[in-house]
Amino acid sequence: MKLKPLFTIHEGEFLVGDHISRMPGRKFDVWVPTKDRGVDLLVTRKNRTGRAVGLQVKFSRSFSHPDEMARDVLATSWFTLEPKKIRASQADIWVFAIMTLRHEKHFVLIPTSQLRKCIPRNCGKIWHLYIWAYADGSCYQVRGLPKREKLDTVHADVRDVRRNFTAWLGNWKLLDRFTKKER
């Protein structure tokens, strides 16, 4: 008789769960749902006050970038998303986990309501999301930008505010905000 696992977690889910469990204060518990309903992880406060928060986790390994940006770009990524699933998502927060070639981890946490606003108009069935994190703490969606504008991202000169993910880079404070007692 061949046994089949009840559930599995992928690398991104493990990295996010591990990061949360090691955060200073260790005030959160991380739970893995046994059924896939569009929420990969649940986060609760250890003292059991507040509400559970659903996370949808996406993972990307970093890839190479132009040499002239090597000093400024910390991490690159490529996520293939379905706008239809984002619009219907039951998750409270989407977490984009990025592992660099040097095994450094970067996380972009964005409330689902905000991510929906970032979906490009006339996107179609697939949204290719390229998130780049920079040494100055900024973070942008660079897919479709001409090379000149990709270089401009180093100087925070991106015209389309929907491309600016800086506020969401490493924003673990969202867990505090979302796990507070019912809003």
Expressed as residue numbers, the domain containing 118 is 11-179
What pLDDT score was predicted for residue 8? 76
3-state SS, residue 115: helix
pTM (predicted TM-score): 0.89
Cα→Cα distances 38→35, 99, 119, 172, 174, Å: 9, 22, 18, 20, 19
How many structural domains compose the chain?
Answer: 1
Task: Judge contact between 122 and 114, C-beta under 8 A.
Answer: no
The predicted-structure confidence for 80-100, as pLDDT tens digits, reads as follows 999 999 999 999 999 999 999
Does residue 6 lie within any of the structural domains?
A: no
Instruction: Report if residue 70 sits inside a domain.
Output: yes
Q: Is 165 among the domain residues?
A: yes
pLDDT at 170 over 90: yes
Determine the pLDDT at residue 155.
60
Q: Nearest to residue 95, comparing CAs of 79, 83, 82?
A: 79
Residue at 55 is within a domain:
yes
**Residue 136's pLDDT is what?**
87
In a domain, 71, yes or no: yes
Structural domain includes residue 2: no
pLDDT in tens, 123-167: 889 999 999 998 889 898 888 776 666 666 666 656 677 788 999
In a domain, 102, yes or no: yes
Contact (CB, 8 A) for 30 and 17 = yes
Q: What is the mean pLDDT of residues 56-77?
A: 85
Alpha helix segments (H runs only) across the chain: 11-21, 83-88, 112-118, 147-152, 173-179
